[in-house]
Amino acid sequence: MEHHISVLFYARKSKKTSKGLSPIYIRLTINGQRLDQSIQRYVSAAQWSVAAGRVKGNNEQAHQVNRYLDALTGKVLRVEREMVLDGVAVNFDNFREKWVGLTEAPRMLIEIFQQHNDQMAALIKAGKDYAQATLDRYNTSRDHTQAFLQWKYGLADIDIKRLNFEFVTDLEFWLKTQRNCAHNTTMKYISNLKKIVNGCIRKGWLLRDPFLGFKTTKQEVEREALTQQELDKIHSKVFPTDRLNYVKDIFLFSCYTGLAYADVKKLKRSEIGPGIDGSYWIFTSKQKTETQSRIPLLPPALAIIEKYKDHPTCYDSGHLLPVLSNQKMNAYLKEIADVCGISKNLTFHIARHTFAITITLSNGVPIETVSKMLGHLNLKTTHHYAKVLDRKVSDDMALLKDRLISKNSV
């Protein structure tokens, strides 16, 4: 594709310094569009030759400025040649991007990442948009990215213009080998970085997307849930310490409501009220997706609410249940699993899976209803639970087939 670039230097007489000097400007005309930029050199009107576009005179100062103007002209030709060799269309936008990148201060990746995280922290402080756990993940992603820069380049930060596909694939390799991250965890960290890079692209700081062609697809993970028998074991167990009984009850409450840890922790008594059928429902918003959740309360969940209605912590704060930190809850759940003879890695999030699979879908509740109660924005998310249910049906039917074969062989 044909293109045309011309270079002109001029003294801008309308902008003079206190000493009466005019700034020298370079004017680049690319396919008829102009780009004007000060070159941070100054000259008196009498010294400037409009026809030559150079400083008059045979003194050293004039020679220095004119040599600099010749160097800039050479730089224009070099940029044009590089674009042609790289197969980049020589048009105004592409040339301006490359030229300005040579003359402006570089924009650094970690610095931009930190600015993003600082803004997120300010929004959290103001009670808007994000949860603290989200900020924690972005801070970890920033730290991993910075550690990778030190490992690969020996740098604490890097110009965003140096980012390319190789950078992204090397980061994936480093996270999986040097940090021993699982595939889905790796993709989560890379997705966080991708958000920062996408912001740079939207602001016009990056012309090319370094993630182009890179897939951040996560591997499907089987959703583990408690069986009804395991749930009954925990329900019937009375522990000798209050802390384990608290954790047991709060975990069971999540099993019967499908609420995640963060949503149970922030749930207040004021968010319990009569629903469309006159019975008690939960009316709350999901912290992660900010979607509204309306969940009818099953008898076991109502019994737990009634049990803690006069608990001092709940009475003073207005919260529904005396929820401990997520770390403590998960530590105590491991104790509960050991005592109850449950071999699964019991964490608080399993309660949500148990609600979806064991409490609702296994008992014929339509998937659309389950999806609404879970606060999913997309029905595809809920279908993961249905796949687990299908697998259980398949396993149960396989056992039945074996029994029938054994019975017929007798």
Quick: pLDDT tens for 83-103.
Answer: 888 788 899 888 888 887 655
Q: Is there a single domain that holds both residue 180 and residue 269? A: no
- Which amino acid is residue 178, in one-letter code? Q
**Residue with the larger pLDDT of the pair 340 and 128:** 340
Please check whether residue 219 lies inside any domain of the structure.
Answer: no
pLDDT value for 116: 95
Q: Is there a single domain that holds both residue 186 and residue 135? A: yes
Please check whether residue 159 lies inside any domain of the structure.
Answer: yes
Please check whether residue 357 lies inside any domain of the structure.
Answer: yes
265: domain CATH number is 1.10.443.10
Q: Is there a single domain that holds both residue 242 and residue 388? A: yes
Per-residue pLDDT tens digits for 180-209? 999 999 999 999 999 999 999 998 888 789
Q: Is there a single domain that holds both residue 264 and residue 379? A: yes
The residue segments making up the domain with residue 268 are 228-396
Q: Is there a single domain that holds both residue 330 and residue 352? A: yes
Q: Is there a single domain that holds both residue 294 and residue 317? A: yes
Got the DSSP string for 301-369? Answer: HHHHHHHTTT-HHHHHH-BSS----HHHHHHHHHHHHHHHT--S---THHHHHHIIIIIIGGGT--HHH
Q: Is there a single domain that holds both residue 39 and residue 145? A: no
Q: Tell the burial category of 339 from Cβ atoms under 10 Å away from its Cβ (0-12, 13-18, 19+).
A: middle
Domain edge (last residue) among 88, 103, 118:
103
Mean model confidence pLDDT for the chain: 87
Q: Is there a single domain that holds both residue 264 and residue 392? A: yes
Q: Is there a single domain that holds both residue 39 and residue 9? A: yes
Query: Does 410 have pLDDT greater than 60?
Result: no
pLDDT value for 101: 66
Domain count, the chain: 3
Rg from Cα positions in the chain: 32
Note the pTM of the prediction, 2 decimals.
Answer: 0.55
Structure tokens at 159: 């110009």
Rounded CA-CA distance 4/258 in Å is 64
